[in-house]
Amino acid sequence: MSARTALGRLTGRRAALPRPPEPGTVALSARGLGLRVGGTWLLKDVDLDLAAGSLLAVVGPNGAGKSTLLSLLAGDQPATTGTVHVGGLGVATAHPADLARRRAVLPQRATLSFPFTVADVVAMGRAPWAGTDVEDDDEDAIAHALTAAGMTGFTHRRYPTLSGGEQARASFARVLAQGASVLLLDEPTAALDLRHQEQLMRTARDCADRGQAVLAVLHDLQLAAAYADEIAVLHAGRLVERGEPGTVLTEPLLEEVYRLPIEVYRHPVTGAVMVGPRRHGKGTPTP
């Protein structure tokens, strides 16, 4: 029995299939979202809408609450306060298969207990569609995802034998194969070299351009500026700013959030927003 078939028996069931949201309409919505652990609020009072056909980058320093936010949006962790709806379903009460047909999640780290091949891992993304008419599209979806992630030459490799970057790309291919209208990506470029960072973000951008709603947690502000329609800045568990890259990426805001001298300027040829630490020669950033 294949990994996809086994998972499909657990998740597949007859149900009305979701319709992809129209471009520009809200595909995911959160209101008053918060998470408290012990006496500490890791995330508090977050309102967020994610539209079909857009790519939203969530940025902020370590500990700002980025991964916590993504986990709550995905329904992988129950919120202390607030609600999240994806494709009209409340994530707190939705059946796992119904939720998986609407949103796909790329965690920071994927842990597999068995030595599945890359082909098996990517096929797992099709499990939510087992027993539905969409199951007929499995092979095409898997092939397309492998190509988009640059993993066609790795199909027979065992997942544990891959490098960290190769594992990240295989996991991204699984997310693409899932065919959900909402993609939630947690630091998708962290383990990748420069070439594959650009490839992955171009693919995420293509997904948004084709009508999917994409949220990507990113540390690289330059990647966020280059590929996102909007950027949301988290700081100390709160959403402090959101808007187009040229509006949000300002030196005063970034210096306050990152506690580091920041330089923001426009590329002299393309006019693109450029951002990075303010340095003097080869030394450390100006204090």
Domains of the chain, by residue range, sit at: 3-249, 260-287
Please name the residue ranges forming H helices in 228-277. 245-248, 251-258
Q: How far apart are CA 68 and CA 82, in angstroms?
A: 14
Q: Which of 57, 27, 24 is nearest to 245 (CA)?
A: 57
Share of the chain above pLDDT 90, in %: 85
Q: Which of 177, 214, 173, 203 is nearest to 23 (CA)?
A: 214
Q: How far is residue 183 from each of residues 4, 70, 176, measured CA to CA in Å?
A: 20, 10, 8
Token reading at 92: 């707190």
Q: What is the pLDDT of residues 128-166, one digit of tens each?
A: 999 999 999 999 999 999 999 999 999 999 999 999 999
- With a cut of 60, say whether residue 59 has pLDDT above it: yes
Torsion region of 247: left, alpha or beta (phi above 0 gives left; psi -120 to 50 gives alpha): alpha
Q: What is the pLDDT of residues 241-270, one digit of tens each?
A: 999 999 999 999 999 999 999 999 999 999
Amino acid occupying residue 36: R
| 3-class secondary structure, 189 | coil
3-249 carries CATH number 3.40.50.300? yes
- With a cut of 90, say whether residue 284 has pLDDT above it: no
What was the pLDDT predicted at 180? 97
What was the pLDDT predicted at 30? 98
Task: Give me the numbers of helices (H) and strands (E) for the chain, helices first please.
Answer: 10, 12
Q: What is the pLDDT of residues 110-127, one digit of tens each?
A: 777 789 999 999 999 999
What was the pLDDT predicted at 6? 47
What is the strand order of the sheet 89-90 is part of?
40-51, 26-37, 81-86, 89-90
Model pTM? 0.91
- With a cut of 80, say whether residue 271 has pLDDT above it: yes
Q: Which residue has the tokens 């960072």?
A: 197
Q: Give the residue-averaged pLDDT of 88-95.
A: 94
What was the pLDDT predicted at 14? 53
What was the pLDDT predicted at 258? 96
Mean pLDDT of the chain: 92
